[in-house]
Chains A and B, each alone.
Chain A
Amino acid sequence: MRKIFSAPSGILLLTMVLGALLAPVLPLQDPLAMDMSGRFAGPSANHWLGQDDYGRDLLSRLVYALRGAILISGSSAVLAAVIGISIGVIAGYVRGFSEMLSLRIMDVILCFPPLLLAMLAATLYGAGPQTLVPVLALVFVPSFTRVAHASVMTVRAMDYVDAVKLMGAPSRRIIFRTILPNVSGPLFVQFSFVVAMSVVLESGLSYLGLGVLPPEPSLGMMIGAARATFLTEPWLLLAPCILLSVLILVLNAFCDHLRHLLDPRRSAGS
């Protein structure tokens, strides 16, 4: 555990995630409390990063927006990973008709541009996290299925899988104890990619007003709202942009680091 979070990306991510999760108990201003007299006010003792167009505390809104982004994209990525990897591994291990069927279904999902699919769902079922999470999950299931399936096909041809079969191991054990650990590398990379992608997609949808509903803060919505006052108050636009970029970069760096650690060929030696 210590090794995992010792890297710079690990420390940063841990800080961001902890900050986001602990937001309700942190001594932050209420992100929704408006203060018309403090519109566009600069940093002060009460509002460290200043206030926005409704006089709300920027720091508090950023932290809560980060919390929303992490919760929504994290849970949709986990959901997509569980479903996608299960389908991919089973398809790759069992082969035959079920493999063909599940891969073709994934191809169909992949035919829809992700943003379009999400907009359609948001229009039909209404915006908000309860739509956002399943839609984002659905969009990213095929990518997990494909990566899992391709990796399983490679690993299952290895002699060590035959060796475990000869030991009389049941299929469940072969899948969970022999195949899954050996396909985890590419799947971790995929996971980092998907979390980052869904952060982008979530903020994009929120920017369009189809994601997180106001007055709840969201990075995309904050960027959208700050557009109008960009020339006079650029900080209101830049702050959520910077946070969004840092979050995505940190996510990618951390997952690379994790994959590195999980590979016995690298961690042991030198």
Chain B
Amino acid sequence: MTMTQSSAAPLLQVSDLAVSFRKDGQWRNVVRDMNFSVTAGETLAIVGESGSGKSVTSMAVMQLLPRVSTRITGKVLFQDRDLLALGEPEMEAVRGNRISMIFQEPMTSLNPVMTIGAQIAEAIRVHRPVSKAEARALALEMMDRVHIPAARSRYDDFPHQFSGGMRQRVMIAAALACKPDLLIADEPTTALDVTIQAQVLDLIKELQADTGMGVIFITHDMGVVAEVADRTLVMYNGDVIESGTTAQIFATPQKTYTRALLSAVPKLGTMGGTPHPLPYPVFDMQTGTMTELPLRGDTLQSDAKPLLEVTGLSKRFEVKSKILKRVVARVHAVEQVGLMLRRGETLSIVGESGCGKSTTGRLLTGLYPSDSGRILLDGRELGKIPANERARDIQMIFQDPYASLNPRLRVGEAITEPLRIHKLVPRKDEAEIAERLLERVGLQAQMADRYPHEFSGGQRQRICVARALVMKPKVIVADEAVSALDVTMKTQVINLMMDLQQEMGLGFVFISHDMAVVERISHKVAVMYLGEVVEMGPRAAIFSNPTHPYTRRLLSAVPVPDPARRGQRSAPPILELRSPLRTSDYRHPVRRYLEVSQGHFVQEPGPEWT
């Protein structure tokens, strides 16, 4: 852990920074009056929701914005030189050398046709007059430093052979290869699973302690801020609205927005003894008051017959050889999964990317045919229900609100499309139905005439909810439905889903990797790992008594949004997530499940867990 060295001269001193973009011939101010400094060894977090200007600030410091359409004013003093006054060649000597940057998406920021080792070595050779062999040695050293297992043998691997977390390690290795004085990390863990996120955060802290570099950490995740930052800057709509030490910001936030941001952070363990799901408190941005919603009765209708009953569900994807098309291996995406959902119940499926939770969701809705197993939807076998009736039973909400609405349909038409497909209502009634649903999901009726691109992510997701509702389904599968949303939007959409459940007795299958949200919304939780359910039971049992080693690992990796409790979270050991890719003659072991308490089942952990 590093201390704020207030006496030392700042490494980076930004004063009166303002950034404007030109769009359609007009200059639009996107960042105003930025003032901050970072000293060596210090971590400054810049937090804010999308569009707040936090990334633009870092791009301005690095001079990465297109010069023709950008106007930057103010001063950016780095080691007593004004970066804004430097020309492009001088800036190139600073970038990647004295100041490095890592980005959100490790998939797109690595060159896919260059080996991992060569990319790190290249970062060194750009700035240091070293030979190829020396660069290789230095690159290998960096790979060891960022804990890439078996660095020597993986030097010549390509990015696609690495998992997301490992790729981010490669990015960090390349960024830190020249031992920069300042690291700018722009949402470096947002695209990663919690366990991987915990490891990457620890890695950055460890390297910072070794080298004494300053770190600017750009994020929207208050949990991450609490974990890493010495000081915090809160941005809203291009303005810095609050700054101070992280402890101050968390303990006594001065501004309404900061309080909203903090209260909106899903936290683990907020449920106490509440027996059933709880909506999020509503935060009023104008008055700054937080209203807890009244407790309501449980929506679960436990006596009703199950809406969804799944037994022995399996799905394998075949990997075929290039020429002869023989099956050489199979991905066991979903293996022997059994689930049950009743009216008014929310069943969450959690796990890391690649664990088969999304595939399970697609099997449940019939988007993928299953290889074996039975899915009973309201007592009928899924495969035997005609498409038009199935649409009335089960619907889906997708993760990416930008990909799940047809860009060529007005949202009113998009919402009522199912009605047109099955000719359920006369054409003239459609508009009214669309308007009513838009109002029901918290939008305005006159928005029906607009196209999806005119809406924000949160609004689009509401439109998707409206579209899922138009057929009055009994079950909705929500596949990471709120993962791509900003925190305030996230809580609103979750509350909306809970309201609708209350009103219509919907059953939700909520697929998510966000444990804090899952704790709030679920009746039941199923934990998936490598295609199998390793633990399943009532929400309270899973969170208070996680029994399978994997569940424990998942829960312990969730960042705690409280700087006072920093360091209490233990990062799980570095472990490549194993893959469910098996040889073609692989026979799946017979698993045994133990009933820990009533309804709480745990798979007997295999030898790999001991």
> A: which residues have CB within 8 A of B?
158-160, 162-170, 173, 178, 181-182, 264-265, 268-270
Contacts of B268-326 to chain A: CB distance below 8 A:
none
* A164–B409 alpha-carbon span in the complex (Å): 12
* A88–B80 alpha-carbon span in the complex (Å): 60
Closest to A268 in B: B451
Q: Across the interface, which residues of A come within 8 angstroms of B387, CB to CB?
A: 168-170
Interface: B471 (CB within 8 A): yes
Interface: B28 (CB within 8 A): no
Closest to B367 in A: A162
- Out of B24, B453, B467, which one reaches A264, CB within 8 Å? B453
* A181–B406 alpha-carbon span in the complex (Å): 10
Q: Across the interface, which residues of B come within 8 angstroms of A159, CB to CB?
A: 398-400, 403-404
Q: Across the interface, which residues of B come within 8 angstroms of A173, CB to CB?
A: 421
Q: Is the Cβ of B406 less than 8 Å from the Cβ of A182?
A: yes
Interface: B548 (CB within 8 A): no
User: With A158-B403, A159-B398, A268-B450 known to touch, is A166 a contact of B408 (CB < 8 Å)?
Assistant: no
Q: Across the interface, which residues of A come within 8 angstroms of B464, CB to CB?
A: 163
Q: Is the Cβ of A166 less than 8 Å from the Cβ of B400?
A: no
Q: Across the interface, which residues of A come within 8 angstroms of B451, CB to CB?
A: 264-265, 268
Q: Across the interface, which residues of B come within 8 angstroms of A178, CB to CB?
A: 406
Closest to B397 in A: A163
Of B221-229, B344-352, B388-396, B587-595, the one touching chain A: B388-396
Q: Across the interface, which residues of A come within 8 angstroms of B388, CB to CB?
A: 168
Q: Across the interface, which residues of A come within 8 angstroms of B418, CB to CB?
A: 167-168
Main secondary structure of the interface of A (DSSP, over half): helix
Interface: B454 (CB within 8 A): yes
Interface: B105 (CB within 8 A): no
> 21 A-B Cβ contacts within 8 A?
A159-B403, A159-B404, A160-B403, A162-B398, A162-B404, A163-B398, A163-B467, A166-B365, A166-B367, A167-B391, A167-B421, A167-B422, A168-B390, A168-B391, A168-B418, A168-B422, A169-B387, A264-B453, A268-B451, A268-B453, A269-B453
Contacts of B437-478 to chain A: CB distance below 8 A:
450-451, 453-454, 464, 467, 471
Closest to B452 in A: A264
Pick from A163, A182, A264 the residue with the most CB of B within 10 Å: A163
Q: Across the interface, which residues of A come within 8 angstroms of B391, CB to CB?
A: 166-168
User: With A159-B400, A173-B421 known to touch, is A265 a contact of B453 (CB < 8 Å)?
Assistant: yes
* A269–B452 alpha-carbon span in the complex (Å): 12
* A126–B406 alpha-carbon span in the complex (Å): 48
* A178–B413 alpha-carbon span in the complex (Å): 12
Q: Is the Cβ of A264 less than 8 Å from the Cβ of B421?
A: no
How many whole Å from B411's CB to the nearest CB in chain A? 11
Interface: B405 (CB within 8 A): yes
User: With A168-B391, A269-B454 known to touch, is A163 a contact of B404 (CB < 8 Å)?
Assistant: yes
* A168–B471 alpha-carbon span in the complex (Å): 11
- Out of B366, B400, B407, B454, which one reaches A182, CB within 8 Å? B407
Interface: B242 (CB within 8 A): no
- Out of A169, A269, A270, which one reaches B421, CB within 8 Å? A169
Interface: B82 (CB within 8 A): no
* A270–B387 alpha-carbon span in the complex (Å): 41
Q: Is the Cβ of A264 less than 8 Å from the Cβ of B396?
A: no
How many whole Å from A174's CB to the nearest CB in chain B? 10
Closest 8 CB pairs of A and B: A168-B387, A159-B404, A168-B391, A167-B418, A159-B398, A168-B388, A264-B451, A160-B406
- Out of B400, B408, B422, which one reaches A181, CB within 8 Å? B408
Interface: B417 (CB within 8 A): yes
How many whole Å from A158's CB to the nearest CB in chain B? 5
Q: Is the Cβ of B407 less than 8 Å from the Cβ of A166?
A: no
Write out, one digit per residue, whether chain B residues 350-382 have a CB within 8 A of any chain A CB (1) or not (0).
000000000000100111000000000000000
Q: Across the interface, which residues of A come within 8 angstroms of B403, CB to CB?
A: 158-160
Write out, one digit per residue, whether chain B residues 181-219 have a CB within 8 A of any chain A CB (1) or not (0).
000000000000000000000000000000000000000
Q: Is the Cβ of B454 less than 8 Å from the Cβ of A268?
A: yes
- Out of A163, A169, A182, A269, which one reaches B408, CB within 8 Å? A182
New contact pairs (17) apart from A160-B403, A173-B421, CB-CB < 8 Å: A159-B400, A159-B404, A160-B404, A162-B396, A163-B404, A163-B464, A165-B367, A166-B396, A167-B417, A167-B421, A168-B386, A168-B390, A181-B406, A182-B408, A264-B407, A264-B408, A268-B454
Q: Is the Cβ of B396 less than 8 Å from the Cβ of A163?
A: yes
User: With A162-B398, A265-B451 known to touch, is A167 a contact of B471 (CB < 8 Å)?
Assistant: yes
Closest to A266 in B: B453
Contacts of B400-436 to chain A: CB distance below 8 A:
400, 403-408, 417-418, 421-422
Closest to B451 in A: A264
Contacts of B509-529 to chain A: CB distance below 8 A:
none
How many whole Å from B407's CB to the nearest CB in chain A? 6
